[in-house]
Amino acid sequence: MDDIQRFLAHAIQLEKESARRYEELAEAMQSLGSMEVAEFFRQMAHYSRLHLKEAMQRGGFHDLPTLAADAYDWPEGTSPEAAAWAGVDGFMDVPGALALALDGEQRSCDYYRTIAADAEDPEVRSMAEAFAEEEAEHVAQLESWRSGLAKG
């Protein structure tokens, strides 16, 4: 991944999916009556959209870039977000939702880290590093929510 526009198109797709998943999770938590967790997921959706905007500005995109489906190059064939959600269906409780969100963030973080490690283009490398760091913060936030639950 040594083309900054291409890298950003991937990041944009990832963040778009992430925002949508968080909104779905927020809805699900709200319907369970877990308003605090729902609010947290809404915040995370908000950050994903900010991140998406930032990536669009950096890439100079005015519209969402659309690569043909086969022009995306994901490690698992689908974006890390979609991979985290594969096989999820039906009822989700609070621990399940947090575990799922954590899995998505972890995969996204690993994805950016791998790109940063492999990229020869310094711009791609530094941007992927910055994005990996943001994802690592999200991982930490989710972990602290999970340990809060464990303590009751």
Q: Which residues bind Zn ion (CB under 5 A)?
A: 105, 135, 138
Tokens 């022009």 sit at which residue? Answer: 71
Number of Cβ atoms within 10 Å of the Cβ of 117: 11
Q: How far is the CB of 120 from Zn ion (least distance, A)?
A: 25
Residue 118 is encoded by which pair of tokens? 């492999």
User: Among residues 9 and 91, whose Cβ is nearest to Zn ion?
Assistant: 9
* Beta carbon nearer to Zn ion, 103 or 135: 135
CB of 15 to Zn ion, least distance (A): 8
Q: Which is nearer to Zn ion, 33 or 103 (CB)?
A: 103
Residue 65 Cβ vs Zn ion, minimum distance, rounded to whole Å: 19
CA distance 103 to 105: 6
Whether the CB-CB separation of 32 and 96 falls below 8 Å is answered with no
Residue nearest to Zn ion (CB): 138
Residue that is written with structure tokens 């760091």 in the block: 133
